Amino acid sequence: MKKLNSILLSALIIFSLLTSCTEDEPQIKITSFSFDAASVEVIEGTSVNLNDHLTIEGEDASKAEVSFTSDNEEVVTVDGVTLTAVGVGNATIEATETNTNKSATIAVTVIAANIAVTGVSLNEESVALQIGQTFQLAATIAPEDATEKELIWSVEFPSEGKSNETVPSDIATVSEEGLVTAVSPGEVNVVVKTKDGDFTASTSVVISGIPVTGVTLNQNEANLEVGETVQLTATIAPENATEKGVTWSVAFPSASKNNEVAPTDIATVTETGLVTAVSAGSVVVTVTTTDGEFTASASISITNVAVTGVAIGTGTGVIEINGTETIQLNATITPSNAFNQAVSWSVEFTNVGDNMRTNFTLLPEDFATVDQNGAVTGGNPCNACVKVVATVVDGDNTFTASADINIIKVLVTSITLDPASFTIDPDGTQQITATILPVNASPNEKKLYWNVAHVNNLCDVPPVSNYASVDQDGLVTGIAAYSACGGINVTATSENGEGSVVGTANFSVNSILATGIEIYIDGQTITDKKINLLNGSSVTLLVNFTPTTTSNKTLTWTVTDTNGNATMYPAVSVDGGVVTTLLNDESRVTVTNEASGQTDYIDINVVVL
C-alpha cells in the first residue's frame, strides 16, 4: 500500500513512464482503489488533504494518476488534492485513476463552525413566593446564535444562609425548564449554568409561610363524671396555614382558683386534646397556636360518681380452701366508674364461730387471714366459722359484702412416679414426674422429699451416692455403672401427718465400654506413634477414651520391644503411665483398657546428647 503525496509527484511519474515505455508496454496494475471511509464531516472554513483519505494498492500503485472532482462546489471545492469547505451542506467527492479508470467516492458533510457562549442572564433578580406557589424563570444566552444552548438548573443556599439541618431542595425546587416551586419558608438562590463555558446567573427566591389567623374548638363546654373523657379538636384558620402546631393547657377559671390543688388534679389534657376527668371541680382547657398564639377555650365541669353497692366476685355460697392455701377474692363496686374504689377487708366470726370465741377464746385470724388486696389464707380447720368481709365507705354511706369460708386440710393419698423404671448412663440424667392424688391436696402436703437408695439394703456395696443422685426437683443423675442387687430406687415422700406416702421408681446405671483409646502427651505432638527421650528423663503418658462417658477406665501398661515381644533389657520402664528411661535403646509402651480390651501404643527411642 502506498499513499500519493501530491499531484506534482504523479505528473513526474507519468512523464517518466511516457518517455520510457513503448507502445507495446502493458497497462499498470492496481488491485485496490478506495477512500478509507464512506463519509466524512468537515467544519465550514477548513481544508482537508484528500490524499490522506485515499488508499491505492497494487504493483504499480506508485504510478497511479489521480484526479478529484466535487459535485457541489457551493459546499466544497477541490484544488488539486486540497478540499475546502465553503458552505454548510452535503457534497460528493469522486477520485479517478486515469490509467485504469478506477474510481471511488466519499460523502462530505460540512457543518457550521461553533459559536461559543459568552454569557447568560435571567429575567428576574429576585422572586417572593408563598409555600405551594410557582414561578417560571427564563434564561437568555448570549450571543443569541450560540451553538450550544443547553442549560443546567440548580438550587443553592445563599453564602450567608446555609443550614446544617436542611438541604436547598427542602426550601424550593427547580425543574429542567426553570420552573421554581416553593416548598417551605426560607431563602435560596436558583442558579442557571451554561453547558458551554459554565457561565452562570442566579435569582434570589424568598419563601414565606401562610400565617395563622385564628383557632376554634369543636365544643366550648363539657360536663363529665370522674374517669370520663372528651376529645377536643382544634381547627386552625386558614386551612392551608403553614404552621399548624398547637399546645394544650388546663387552668382554673379566674373566679374559682384553688390553692390546695393544681388544675391537673381536676382534669388532664393530652397533646392531642383528649381531656380526662380526674376529680370533681371546674377547669378551663385552652388550645394555643404556635404561630400567632391565637387561643380557644372550653369549660369543663366534673362531678364524682357515687357508690351504690359492693359484691365479692365469687358470688354466694361457702368458699372452701386448704388450711395453708391462699385464694384471691375480688370486690366489685357498683357502678364500675364510681369515684371511690377503696375497699377494706376483714375476717369475722359467723354465728358458728361465735361459740369458738366464747368457749375457746380464739380469734377469727386463727382460722383465716386476709390482706388489703383480698388474698385469703387458711389456718386452723373450721367449717364455715368465719367470713371475709369487704367494706366500702362513700360519704355517709357504708356498703358491705361477705363470703363464708370453710378451712380444710386435704391429705395426699398416693404418689406415682413416671417413668416407673429406667436406665441411664453415667453423667446422664432422667427427669422423674410425680403425680399426686388427690389433685386438690393441700400445698404443704404436696411438698415432696426425694431420695435414692439400694433396692436391697442388705447388699454389701459402697454407698448409693457413688452411683446416682437425685435433686429436690426429681432430676436423677447417673454417676457410675451399677445394676447389682436389683438396682437403685428413687423415692418421693410426702409427710401427710397420717403417715408417709411414698412413690418409687427403680433404675440402674449403664456400664459404657470404650470403643477406642489413644495415648497423648500434654503439650507435645506425637508423630507416627514415636517420640525421642533423653536418657535420664521421664514423661507422663495420658489416655483419651472414646466415648468420653466410658464407665470403666482401668488401664494396664506394659513394655516390649518395638515388635511387641518381651525383652529382658527394656529401654524404659512405665508405672501408671509415667515412663522413665533406662538405657539407650528403643522400646514400645502399650496401654490396655481392661474392661473393653482396647489398646494403643507408642515407641520410645532413648538417646544421649
d(CA 515, CA 316): 71
Q: What is the mean pLDDT of residues 460-467?
A: 78
When pLDDT is cut at 50, 70 and 90, the band that residue 460 belongs to is low
CATH of domain 214-303: 2.60.40.1080
d(CA 344, CA 565): 94
For residue range 1-26, list pLDDT tens digits in order: 333 333 333 433 334 444 444 444 44
d(CA 403, CA 405): 6
Contacting residues for 520 by C-beta, under 8 A, at least 6 apart: 526, 541, 542, 543, 544
Q: Lowest mean pLDDT of 56-65, 322-331, 578-587, name the range.
A: 322-331
Mean pLDDT across the chain: 86
- C-alpha closest to that of 230 among 213, 248, 243, 242: 248
Each residue of 291-324: b (16+ CB within 10 Å) or e? beebbbbbebebebbebeebbbeeeeeebbbbbe
Element (H, E) at 352: helix 351-360
Q: What is the mean pLDDT of residues 416-428?
A: 88
- Domain 414-509 top-level CATH class: mainly beta
Q: Is the bond preceding 547 in cis, omega lying within 30 degrees of 0?
A: yes
- Which CATH number among 1.10.8.60, 1.10.10.10, 2.60.40.1080, 3.30.830.10 corresponds to the domain 516-607? 2.60.40.1080
CATH of domain 7-111: 2.60.40.1080
Question: pTM of the entire structure?
Answer: 0.36
Bridge partners (DSSP) of residue 215 are 236
Cα 339 to Cα 263, 267, 313, distances in angstroms = 18, 14, 19
Angle at Cα 424 formed by Cα 419 and Cα 430, nearest 5°?
Answer: 50
For residue range 102-137, list pLDDT tens digits in order: 999 999 999 888 888 999 999 999 999 989 899 999
Of 61 and 7, which is predicted with more confidence?
61
- Which CATH number among 3.60.20.10, 3.40.50.12780, 3.10.28.10, 2.60.40.1080 corresponds to the domain 119-208? 2.60.40.1080
- 531 in helix, strand or coil? strand
Copy the grid coordinates of residue 531.
517420640
Q: What is the pLDDT of residue 345?
A: 94
d(CA 337, CA 340): 9
Paired sense of beta strands 234-237 and 449-454, if any: unpaired
Q: Which residue has the cell 357502678?
A: 335
d(CA 225, CA 240): 37
Percent of the chain with pLDDT over 70: 90
As its CATH architecture, domain 309-408 has Sandwich (2.60)
Q: How many CA atoms lie within 13 A of 250 on its CB side?
A: 23
- 360 in helix, strand or coil? helix
Of 128 and 240, which is predicted with more confidence?
128
Q: What is the pLDDT of residue 123?
A: 95
DSSP string, 21-68: --TTPPPP---EEEESSSEEEEETT-EEEGGGGEEEESTTGGG--EEE
Q: Which residue has the cell 376529680?
A: 279
> What residue ranges do the domains of the chain occupy?
7-111, 119-208, 214-303, 309-408, 414-509, 516-607
Contacting residues for 511 by C-beta, under 8 A, at least 6 apart: 481, 483, 551, 552, 595
**What is the greatest pairwise CA distance in the chain?**
169
Cα 512 to Cα 207, 374, 502, 508, 550, distances in angstroms = 87, 58, 32, 12, 5
Element (H, E) at 331: strand 331-334
Please give the backbone phi and psi of residue 351, each rounded to the nearest 5 degrees, phi first. -60, -35
Paired sense of beta strands 134-136 and 179-182, if any: antiparallel
Paired sense of beta strands 555-560 and 586-593, if any: antiparallel
Q: What is the pLDDT of residue 6?
A: 36
Contacting residues for 101 by C-beta, under 8 A, at least 6 apart: none
Residue type present at position 26 = P
d(CA 62, CA 331): 123
Position 444 pLDDT exceeds 70:
no
Bridge partners (DSSP) of residue 327 are 376
- C-alpha closest to that of 598 among 544, 527, 530: 544
Q: How many CB atoms lie within 10 A of CB 143?
A: 11
Q: Same CATH topology for 214-303 and 516-607?
A: yes
